Structures are given as C-alpha cells and as structure tokens.
Structure 1
Amino acid sequence: MNEAARDTPGLVLRPREGRPFRFDPGTLCLELLPTGGLGRYAVFEVLHEPADLVRWAQESRLPAGLALSVSAAELVRARELRGALWRLARNRAEGQESGPEDLDVVNAVAAAPPLVARIDADGHRAWAPGATGTALLSTVARDAVDLFTGPFAGRIRVCGAHDCALLFVDTSRPGRRRWCAMERCGNRHKVRAHRARHTETAEGDA
C-alpha cells in the first residue's frame, strides 16, 4: 500500500458484487470486523492463515512500518476476538447489554503487552522490533476498551442499508452518519429513492 493510501483512513473492501469501496469504521477495533463475520457472514472470511492477519495490520489505520510475526494460535485468537467485538458492537448499536463472555475475551486479550512505538535515529516514528500477533491483538482490544467506555460508545451504528451489516462509530460532529460508505450504500439508497419517486410520478400520471 502506498503512503497516499495510508493517509486516507479506512479499508478498501472488495464485495462479491459491485466495485471496491473505502470503508472507514472510525476506529481500529472495528476495522477488524470486515475480515469475516458470524453466521451467514462467515462467507466473507479473509483470515485464513497467519500472513492474512499480517496483511490486515499493514492495511489498517496503524502507522506504516510494522514488522509482525503471527503464529497459527494467534490467528485463532484473532478470530475469537473478532467474534467478541462483533457481538459487543452489534449489541451496543442495538441498545442491548454486553455478554460477559465477550467482555472476558476482550479484557483477556487487552491484558497482554501491546505494540510498542519508538523514535528511530532519524527522529521518525517506528515500531519496536519483535512485534507479535499477541501484541497486535492487545492493541486492538485496548482500542475496543477505549471505544466502549469512551465518549463515542453511544455512537456505534449499523449501516442503514437493509442488506449491509457493517458496523462503524459515528465520529461526525452532528452524529448523523447512516451509511458504511456514501460511495456504496449511500449511493444505492439515493438510486432506489430516485427510482421510487419516478415510479410514483409515472403511476400518478397514468
């Protein structure tokens, strides 16, 4: 990924139907969710091997330059954390209570040492060597703790499209974000609304 792309927050998602689009869920922990899902959304799984988690970290909103080593066991843990985050975020978006088992998963993962940033000899930000999947997941889980206990905890949303389950935190000033991305679900809504208006007009003129 080039540096210009890294300057734009969010992930490029490639749906089976339609063009790729950029989705910014607003926070690191929610960026993990589009890598797979629960139930019928399991078909979107992309974390098949440790290298896939490394690739996700490199494409995420984490600063560039992270050299990461991930084991098979850490990949399994990543999927477990992702499932817990899916349920916690969905419950929060729908005004439901959080499951204690999911909170236990997030807290246990967050308890491990996180990724460590440092200043290199040239004065630039860099990552300390020896980064592991466990440290990456701890960083993600700690971000989730900040989200669910912070000022935007009440702004976790599900995309307003009837056929989209993407979750995001609405960090806009007015708090009126409805769509995962305007270039995808927002535009599809506009097209449907436009067609519906023309249909009503045509029927009225008949």
Structure 2
Amino acid sequence: MNEGATGTPEPGLILRTPRGRSFRFDPGALCLELLLTSDPGGLPWSLETLREPADLVRWAGESRLPDGPRLSVDAADLDRARELRGALWRMTIARARGEELAPGDTDVVNAAAARTPLVPAMTPGGERTWAAGATGTAMLSVVARDAVDLFTGPYAHRIRVCEAHNCALHFVDTSRPGRRRWCAMGRCGNRNKVRAHRARTAGPGDAGE
C-alpha cells in the first residue's frame, strides 16, 4: 500500500490518463478497487491491467489489503478475478441506478465469498497481516466478502458513478450529507465548476465557442 509523507498508508490507487497524468483515486471499498484494474464498462482511457498472474499480485499489493506474504496466483485465479470484476461492475451500475442486482452477478460474488479467505495474522509490532500460504483464490474471497458487506450494508444506497460526462469511476459516498457527485473534487469536481462558471459568465458571442 502507498504511504504518505507521515508514513501512514494512503487509501486509493494511482491512476493515469491517456495523456500520462496521474492522480490518486479512492473508491472507498476494496471491492471497488478491483474495478480499477480495467474497464468492463467502456471507460475510454482505461486499459486491461490483469494480463498475467503477476498483475493480480501487484494489484493486491497496491490495494487497501494489509501487506502480507507474496500471493500464490495461477491462471485460474486470474480468470476468476476478471469474472468477479465484471460482476462487481454490473452490480455497481445497478445500485447507482437504484435497480435490482442480476442473480447471475450475485451468484459470482457468493461463489467467490464461499471459498476459504486469507487468514489474518499479526506481527510482533502489532500490525495486521496475512498468514503464510496466501493464494489468489483466498484473496478474491476477501474481495467478494467485502462486496457482500458493501452491497448489503448501510452504504448500499450510496454507491455512485461519477457524473462527469467523460468519467465512469465508481465510489462509495461516505460524505455526511450524502450528495457527492464527483469521483474527486480535485479532478472532475473542479472541471465542472470551471465549466459552470464559464457558462454563467459567457457573453452572447461566446455561445458557440
């Protein structure tokens, strides 16, 4: 997991746009971080990053999962990760629209959650980690169980999709008023403010610009 200037872990993953700009984005849940490995739904600048087992190992290390022993991941785990990711993408879209979840998608999540998960352990320094023998299947079980908690919990009605026309990042709205519209104010939020300001201040001759 990435660390900030104070040495404490910073939530979220580093994403990059087609122009090479990088930014940190925290979707608010482990299961939604898996969606950032590609774009099952058509995000124009996103690319598939789970091409081989080592890619899934790298994602786990960058995610909000506690650090632990290196995962043992095979090709079957990679296929399961992509299947789980697709189900989570469709479920997130459905929740954001207030629609029912598709049984086929919840079946995928439930099957992954039913597998033996990573076993938690602690270090002599009191830090949380995972016991030795960690596998990709066990890690995906943790991700799926996180999804069950999210989609059945108090924030299930606050799963959002960024409202910017050229962004499709998904997140959990944990703000107190529950009216978050953008993936991040420093990105899409500010751009929308600039557009709105220009629209308000533009003169008649600027309408076509």
TM-score (norm. length: structure 1) = 0.91
Q: Which residue of 2 aligns with 1:78?
A: 81
Does the alignment pair 1:3 with 2:6?
no
| Residue of 58, 61, 67 corresponding to 1:58 | 61
- Distance in 2 of aligned mates of 1:97 and 1:19: 36
Q: Secondary structure at the match of 2:42?
A: helix
Q: Which residue of 2 aligns with 1:160?
A: 163
| Residue of 23, 26, 30 corresponding to 1:24 | 26
- Distance in 2 of aligned mates of 1:8 and 1:110: 26
CA RMSD after TM alignment: 2.0
| Residue of 27, 34, 37 corresponding to 1:35 | 37
| Residue of 103, 112, 124 corresponding to 1:100 | 103
Q: How does 1:95-134 map to 2 (within 5 A)?
A: 95-134=98-137
- Distance in 1 of aligned mates of 2:58 and 2:36: 13
- Distance in 2 of aligned mates of 1:139 and 1:84: 15
Post-superposition offset of 1:180: 0.8
Once structures 1 and 2 are overlaid, which stretch shifts more, 81-90 or 187-196?
187-196
Q: Does structure 1 conserve the Cα–Cα contact (< 8 Å) formed by 2:28 and 2:172? A: yes
5+ residue gaps in structure 1?
none
- Distance in 2 of aligned mates of 1:74 and 1:41: 24
Amino acid at match of 1:16: P
- Structure 1 residues 144 and 39, CA gap change in structure 2 (3 angstroms): closer
- Deviation per CA, 1:97-124: give whole Å up to 9, x if none: 1111001000000000111111234443
Post-superposition offset of 1:186: 1.1
Amino acid at match of 2:3: E
Once structures 1 and 2 are overlaid, which stretch shifts more, 156-165 or 185-194?
185-194
Q: Does structure 2 conserve the Cα–Cα contact (< 8 Å) formed by 1:118 and 1:128? A: yes
- Structure 1 residues 8 and 124, CA gap change in structure 2 (3 angstroms): closer
Q: Secondary structure at the match of 1:68?
A: coil
Amino acid at match of 2:36: P
Once structures 1 and 2 are overlaid, which stretch shifts more, 23-32 or 6-15?
6-15
Structure with the bigger percentage of helix: 1
Amino acid at match of 1:111: A
Q: Secondary structure at the match of 2:181?
A: coil
Q: Secondary structure at the match of 1:31?
A: helix
Post-superposition offset of 1:36: 1.1
Q: Does structure 1 conserve the Cα–Cα contact (< 8 Å) formed by 2:2 and 2:62? A: no
Identity of aligned residues (%): 67
- Deviation per CA, 1:13-48: give whole Å up to 9, x if none: 111136211111111000110111225348521111
- Structure 1 residues 39 and 154, CA gap change in structure 2 (3 angstroms): closer
